[in-house]
Chains A and B, each alone.
Chain A
Amino acid sequence: MDAALTGFLDILISSGGLFVAFYLMALGHSIVEKSGILNLAIDGMFALSATLAFFADVYYGNDLLKSFLLPAVVIALFGLFMAFVLTKFPVSHGAVGLSLMFLMYGLSSVIGYGPRIVQATMPNFSPGVSLSLEERIAGYLTMVALSIFAYWFIEKTKIGVSIKASGEDPAAAEALGVNVLASRLVAAAIGFSMIGFGGAAYMNFYVRLWDERAVILSGYGWLAFSIALSGGRHPLVVLLTSLIFSMLVHSSLQLVAWYGISRELSYSLPFIVAIISMTIYMATPLRRLLASPKGLGRIYFREERTV
């Protein structure tokens, strides 16, 4: 029993960096989607933000501030573009999201190779920082504080209710006096920069290397998507789902050591669990209790014909 507890705590602590990354991405994604914007670009954004963080680390000498700000700003700009276009024009959320995803994969591969080659010439250089125990615990606590703030912001303030209204029914919201575009832009600015911070956290606090498989082909953005969805996009519940996944992903390597399953098989585990968790959400009362915004992904077009 003791060994299991110690093992559990070990994984809890060592996966702290990944938890921060997942939670930031999932929370940011939740805020964006609560405003009605379907964000299928999340994995591309993850790849691009991790790559930009790496870029900043290599070219600015591991300046963490720049390493976090650069991805946040870039992703926020993309996100503001998305929010603007998807609110003002009858464009498909899914199509825009997926195309941005591919574009960002491409940008990541082009932007990443340069600093990678430069890094190879810098012996003993490692991006980001290796977190100490206290720093990891601080990370957990900061995320909890963030979740409480996010909950208050969304549920208890006028701007939060405006964001929710824009996500439920933008036409009705507008008739009720909400500036849907402004609300979505606010949600986008906050949510997408959080996603950027999340990718930067992944690079700086967890994986601390850049290659295609760790960044572009990892699919962790989609894990964040499932984390947000199965958590009902609720700032507090998503804490729990983020924790489950960060520990699961981190321990998959452990599973290789403990149960002797192959490495490749362990890579597939988080995705299988993600699919199961999305299924559980959709197939149970969770779907109604933590319902997704009614207008999520719906094209908002004002001059509709009437019959």
Chain B
Amino acid sequence: MVSIVVVRRVKPVPYFIVPILALLIGIGVSIVILFFLTGYMVQPMDVLVSIWTGLTQPNVIANIFLILTIVGFSLAMSFKGGLYNIGGEGQFWMAAWMIVWLVFTTPIIVSQTPLVSKLVALATGFVAGFAWGLLAGILRGYVGVDEVPLTLMMNYVAYYLIDWLVMLPGRPWRDIYGYAKTRSLPQTLQYSIIPGTTVSVEMILVTIVIGFLIWLILDFTRLGLTIKIHGSNVNLLRSAGYSVPLTAALALALSGGFIGIAGILYLCGVTPSIRIPVETTTSGFGYLGILVTWLSMLELFAVPIAAYVVSSLYNAGFTLMAIKGTQQAGVTAGVTNVFMGSVLLMYALLITISEYEIRIVW
């Protein structure tokens, strides 16, 4: 009788082993899946080449990389608190919606200088994301609703709300020609691309500042410590006199706020209008960010590295679609989910070997 025994390790293995293994095995699994499910249309080489293309052409993935980095940092804040913020999509898009709404209904933003209006836009994004996250945070902290289905369903609510609001007839944000999108943001808000690249100075700056800020909060403030302790031992937090519900609510809200900033960066730096229906046009940064944060093992410095890799994976999906015949075989934007799911699954399984040793006994 063979039996499997699991024992705690004396010293954990170097932490980068797990993400790298997860990536390699996960991509391997994806290759197998795609090969067989598309009737051999997608060859292993195709997949590897498309991933490699992304990795070696930073210009192509630069914007996605920056946005995923911010989302990765933001999610680290809630994940470290033991709270799975799956609502990144909702927080992202509500922030995007908020800026569109503000820009086209009040003169507050557009009447300022470009610099000030961009700053106000970022602040707006933070507030919107914070509010959307706080809603979930209150229900999770004070009522105890599981944040995973809660934040996820709030994504759907956000999608549909925005779909509805954008298409309301006769509103100032409606596209002039009646297309299923909002009007574009004014030039003063749009970021200018650095010549020779695909990114803007604003995006790079904001990403760095946010990363720094989140690091400061988590490692050097009492608030950050309470969030981390919430993720480690809720009872300790309580017996130290802190309000556990408030800590949970704040962790989710802050996480949402910073993701909201990512939403603003997207609108100002990548696509200046919201296209409807949101649920099909979204790139899914809120979900991809989860992969980034987990692959970075919740170590902040590893977030950009993980973001870079995930951007390449995301891009690989599109590269594959461009290959002749694959679209008919089923390769669509959904392919990214195959990559994401496989890598994430391998990560979830392999993370055990970093803390535990697995023995076979007979």
Which residues on A are within 8 Å of B, measured CB to CB?
A: 40, 43-44, 85, 88-92, 94-96, 98-114, 117, 212-213, 216-217, 219, 222, 225-226, 229, 262, 264-265, 267-268, 271-272, 274-275, 278-279, 282-283, 287, 301-303, 305
Contact = CB atoms under 8 A, between A and B. Distances in A.
Top 5 nearest A-B pairs (CB, nearest first) are: A103-B341, A109-B334, A106-B337, A106-B338, A99-B344
B318 interface: no
Given A96-B349, A110-B37, A272-B157, A279 B341 contact: no
A89 B287 contact: no
A44 B341 CA distance: 10
Given A91-B349, A104-B341, A305-B8, A98 B290 contact: yes
B77 to A, nearest CB: 17
Contacts of B239: none
Contacts of A105: 334, 337, 341
B266 interface: no
A113 B330 contact: yes
Contacts of B148: 40, 94, 98
Nearest to B350: A91
Contacts of A88: 4, 6
Contact of B344 (A102, A114, A225): A102
Contact of A102 (B143, B159, B287): B287
A85 B349 contact: yes
B6 A90 contact: yes
B86 interface: yes
A221 B152 CA distance: 11
Interface in B112-138: none
Contacts of B149: 40, 222, 225-226, 229, 274, 278
Contacts of B337: 102-103, 105-106, 109
B342 A103 contact: yes
A278 B348 CA distance: 27
B147 to A, nearest CB: 10
Given A90-B356, A262-B167, A103 B349 contact: no
Given A91-B352, A106-B337, 17 more contacts: A40-B148, A88-B6, A90-B356, A95-B344, A95-B347, A98-B84, A98-B344, A100-B341, A109-B333, A110-B334, A113-B329, A213-B277, A262-B167, A265-B161, A271-B153, A275-B154, A278-B146
A300 to B, nearest CB: 10
Nearest to B8: A303
Contacts of A104: 341
Contacts of B348: 91-92, 95-96, 99
Contacts of A117: 328
A268 B159 CA distance: 8
Nearest to A115: B330
A275 B335 contact: no
B139 interface: yes
A113 B334 CA distance: 11
A99 B152 contact: no
Given A100-B345, A222-B153, A267 B7 contact: no
Interface residues of B, number: 64
Contact of A274 (B5, B153, B340): B153
Contacts of B355: 90
Interface of B: 4-8, 33-34, 37-39, 84, 86, 139, 143-146, 148-150, 152-154, 156-157, 159-161, 163-164, 167-168, 277, 279-280, 287, 290, 294, 327-342, 344-345, 347-349, 351-352, 355-356, 358
Contacts of A229: 146, 149
A71 B139 CA distance: 35
Nearest to B343: A99
A225 B86 CA distance: 15
A213 B280 contact: yes
Contacts of B143: 279, 282-283
Nearest to B353: A89
A102 B336 CA distance: 9
A303 B3 CA distance: 14
Contact of B279 (A110, A111, A217, A301): A217
B42 to A, nearest CB: 9
A111 B338 contact: no
A213 B281 CA distance: 12
B338 to A, nearest CB: 3
A92 B33 CA distance: 24
Nearest to B29: A103
Contacts of B139: 275, 279
A199 B34 CA distance: 23
Nearest to A304: B8
Contacts of B349: 85, 89, 91, 96
Contact of A110 (B34, B150, B356): B34
Contacts of B144: 282, 287
Contacts of A102: 287, 337, 340-341, 344
A91 B344 CA distance: 13
19 contacts: A40-B148, A89-B352, A90-B356, A96-B345, A96-B349, A99-B348, A103-B341, A109-B333, A110-B37, A110-B38, A110-B334, A113-B332, A114-B328, A217-B280, A229-B149, A264-B167, A267-B156, A268-B156, A278-B150
A271 B168 CA distance: 21
Given A89-B358, A110-B34, A114-B329, A262 B352 contact: no
A265 B164 contact: yes
Given A85-B349, A98-B344, A271-B157, A303 B7 contact: yes
A225 B145 CA distance: 12
A275 B153 contact: yes
Contacts of A226: 149, 153
A151 to B, nearest CB: 25
